[in-house]
Amino acid sequence: MQEQEIQTSNYCLNNICKEKTTLVHSGEDYFLRARNIILNAQSVIHIQMYIFENDATGQEIINALQEAAIRNVKIYVLLDGYGSYPFPRLIMKELKQLGINIRFFSPFFSSNNFYIGRRLHHKIITADGTIALIGGINISDKYRGTSTEHPWLDYAIEVENGETVMQLEQLCQNIYFKHKRTHRINLQPISYLDKKTTVTVLQNDWLKRNNEIAIAYVKSIQKAQKEVVIVGCYFLPGRKFSKVLKKTAKSGVKIKLILSGISDIPLMQRAIYHLYSSLLQNNIELYEWNKSILHGKVALVDNKWATIGSFNLNHLSSYGSIETNVAIESTKFAKTLASDLNAVISQCERITLETIKRKSSLFATIANWLSYHFVRTTLIIITYIPYNRFMNKYKEEN
């Protein structure tokens, strides 16, 4: 298999770009853009997905990929071996026969036996080094919604014409072709021509000593002066992040957490409930989204710095998964995102200490405590296993 060469971008000079960055919502907004990117591609497509389901939405994307393959577009699809385990092997074989390069990352049943381990949590689509979609949205009907059901609440960023797209494409290429750390690209912040906007690609792959997203979250919150808004599905942060969040709130910065009132993982939901009282007692505002499952991973600080991507604020994303976010410093983009998040908050249920007292019981309190400690312990164990295997392999190679 030959590598697809990445050409130098014509849009940047000394990291000053003419990029266009657009906030994208789950539902038709995202999937129309995804399909158009594939259908309009001329030379190369990279898709890296945690979940790619063989439902109506998945079939539309597959059909678009088949059309692109017929036009001789080079296509590289990397699916997580656990998240996309149900993806039909027959369809994968048919796609390969069309010349589409498709494989699993860390197959669920690997050559080393049963393996959960390190996961590829990306949700990235790039084409021709000129356009990319990156966020938290998987390829599935759940994220698209129906005439009677809201899509899972989630976000992505569409980036056009710039070095950020080239960086994302190079990143996908490195992972697809299993480049070693020596091939890792140096991702530099990219500034717009107006010098008022900076876009940065952030990576989190703790096993390879990358924890840029986690660091960016902490530093941005520590620097906050007015307000922090976080959309957090599976919100189960570690002690360090919790301490930073509470300290910032006590300093007078308004902190708002938009969490899921409906969860696809009930045990995780109970574990998160265990944190509610502590968060509220530290002047942190809580809002629950109940119209659909919340799956977004978004932060907005002081209406000028934002990040959107695949990274969840929990142990698994911090230490067990490969994650990529985009950070944007732009008052214009932040204004758009702030307006959207305020609209979401207006449709949420505000959670207070009185709310908790009214809804809680002794059984619920005990169940939440047990769930929290069980989930935390489980996440630590399943992230330790790949770390241990990785270090053993690293020692053998060196």
Q: How far apart are CA 128 and CA 132, in angstroms?
A: 9
Which of residues 26 and 193 earns the better pLDDT score? Answer: 26
Tokens 């259908």 label which residue? 39
pLDDT at site 262: 93
Beta-bridge mates of residue 79:
49, 104
Under the banding of pLDDT at 50, 70 and 90, the label for residue 191 is low
pLDDT at site 145: 94
pLDDT digits (tens, 9 = 90+) for 240-271: 999 999 999 999 999 999 999 999 999 999 99
At how many degrees (to 10) do helices 212-223 and 239-250 cross?
20
Helix, strand, coil percent values for the chain (each to nearest 5): 40, 30, 30
The pTM (predicted TM-score) of the whole model is: 0.88
Residue 28 in tokens = 């038709």
Domains of the chain: 19-186 (3.30.870.10), 202-373 (3.30.870.10)
For the chain, what is the mean pLDDT?
Answer: 87
pLDDT digits (tens, 9 = 90+) for 269-317: 999 999 999 999 999 999 999 999 999 999 999 999 999 999 999 988 9
Helical H segments across the chain, by residue range: 28-40, 56-70, 89-97, 141-144, 163-176, 212-223, 239-250, 266-281, 315-319, 331-346, 353-359, 362-397
pLDDT digits (tens, 9 = 90+) for 78-111: 999 999 999 999 999 999 999 999 999 987 555 4
Phi, psi of 261 (to 5 degrees): -85, -20
Under the banding of pLDDT at 50, 70 and 90, the label for residue 179 is confident
pLDDT at site 173: 95
Q: How far apart are CA 341 and CA 263, in angstroms?
A: 19
| 181 touches 174 (CB < 8 A) | no
